[in-house]
Chains A and B, each alone.
Chain A
Amino acid sequence: MTTPSRAVTRNPEGILRFAAPQQFYPLAGTLAPWFAQAAAVLTAIGLYIGFFVAPTDFQQGEVYRVIFIHVPAAWMSMLIYLVMAFWAAVGLVLNTRLSFIMCQALAPTGAMFCFLALWTGALWGKPTWGTYWVWDARLTSQLLLLFLYFGFIALTRAIEDPRRADRAGAIIALVGAVNVPIIYFSVQWWNTLHQGASVSLTKAPSMATTMLAGMLVMALAAWMYAIAVALWRVRALILERERHTEWVGEVLEAEGRAR
């Protein structure tokens, strides 16, 4: 066998050696708790700023505080899908098993953030706009993202053969990624009820500093949480897929002894 992926897994060098599930499993186990602790600390700081330090909004009053959860969740739901599409592309091109596992490990977290963004948005919409839901371009494309996540999860779970499940899922991940820029730019391209971005890379944020600080800390917390949970899920998926190999037997035995 001379396929490139086998070459990578057979001759591990530098960082690429972690492309082998056997090598990545212990690394993920070491890293995940650190990300989880960072997530817990940042969430505590972010929520404290959001609820006790940040001032009341001049127009919306207290209800605006939903942004400390809504905006990071919405950002995360879009970013995770793009990362999934990246791993799907890497997996399809390089035939690396771990890439597909990464892709599948991220999906439930992305779906959770996507639902959270839609739900908190609806709760904010009622007092602010006067309605829970409208079919404007932003809200509709975000709902489509939730269905893409559900479709991805359902499809990869429904196909028995992991190699075929990987490929089918990768195609949904790549095709669906087109929706992410549509969500992001929908508020610029079309008239929408949803307001434009308060924070973007191209202009100064139109928010008070403490409000912005709380939101960015919460966004960082969401990153840490997503990484920690994805790493743990990667570990579970690796064990499941490699359960017939010798090294998994050894790992499980060692972990059993440790308990």
Chain B
Amino acid sequence: MKARNKRLLLVGGGVALLVAAVALVLTAFQQNLVFFHTPSEVYEGKAPTGRAFRIGGMVEEGSIRREADGLTVSFAITDTAKVIPVTYRGTLPDLFQEGKGAVVQGMLDAGGHFRATEVLAKHDENYMPVEAQYAIDQAHKAAQTVQQ
């Protein structure tokens, strides 16, 4: 075998071994690499208990309620299968809206109520002009009227 081919084999083999090792490590740490859990996972007991963690999902439509003190907000976070009630005291990000993604950090209390210490808005990958969103809303309304 030529020296060049030997070196090619060495470099190629080394990289292949490394990729395999990294893949194994990442699979082993799968749980720790997850930034948030979905409400369904929380119900299945996959979320950590006794320490703070994050739940990610959609803010349920019509669930946002502000308390009289003006700072405390309660809402529900859902992945359309399960719903978890959340209370949070503090300022919310601008993009925090009903029907949009959010990630909340905090702890579950005994009653299955999530006490959040931090709320982040999760943006999706869709970018479109204001007019397009307006057109979609109109089409949506029209479709609903037809159904009724």
Contact = CB atoms under 8 A, between A and B. Distances in A.
Query: Which interface class (under 10, 10 to 19, 20 to 34, 35 or more) fits A?
Result: 35 or more
Interface in B6-40: 7-8, 11, 14-15, 18-19, 22, 26, 30, 33-38
A134 B34 CA distance: 12
12 contacts: A4-B2, A4-B3, A129-B95, A130-B96, A175-B18, A178-B18, A178-B22, A190-B33, A191-B35, A197-B125, A208-B127, A211-B128
Interface of B: 2-4, 7-8, 11, 14-15, 18-19, 22, 26, 30, 33-38, 56, 92-96, 100, 103, 118-134
A174 to B, nearest CB: 6
Contacts of A128: 93-95, 121, 123
Contacts of B19: 178
In the A-B complex, the 10 residue pairs with the closest CB atoms: A130-B93, A55-B129, A58-B133, A136-B35, A198-B125, A207-B127, A195-B125, A93-B8, A196-B125, A129-B120
A89 B131 contact: no
Interface in A54-72: 55-60, 64, 67
A234 to B, nearest CB: 22
A177 B18 CA distance: 10
Interface of A: 3-4, 55-60, 64, 67, 89, 92-95, 127-131, 134-137, 174-175, 177-178, 182, 189-193, 195-198, 206-208, 211
B123 A195 contact: yes
Contacts of A92: 7, 11
Contacts of A57: 127-130
B40 to A, nearest CB: 12
B36 A191 contact: yes
B127 A67 contact: yes
A3 B127 CA distance: 55
A191 B125 contact: no
Query: Interface of chain A, helix or strand or loop or mixed?
Result: loop
B131 A55 contact: yes
A93 B121 contact: no
Nearest to B56: A191
Contact of B127 (A89, A127, A198): A198
- Which among A134, A174, A193 has the greatest number of chain B C-beta atoms within 10 A? A193
A174 B35 contact: no
A22 B112 CA distance: 72
Contacts of B127: 57, 60, 64, 67, 198, 206-208, 211
A56 B130 contact: yes
A59 B96 CA distance: 10
B77 to A, nearest CB: 13
A129 B121 contact: yes
Contacts of B38: 191
A195 B122 contact: yes
B128 A207 contact: yes
A134 B120 contact: yes
Contact of A193 (B122, B125, B131): B122
A60 B4 contact: no
Contacts of B36: 191, 193
Given A55-B130, A178-B18, A191 B34 contact: yes
A92 B7 CA distance: 7
Contacts of A206: 125-127
Contacts of B35: 134-137, 190-193
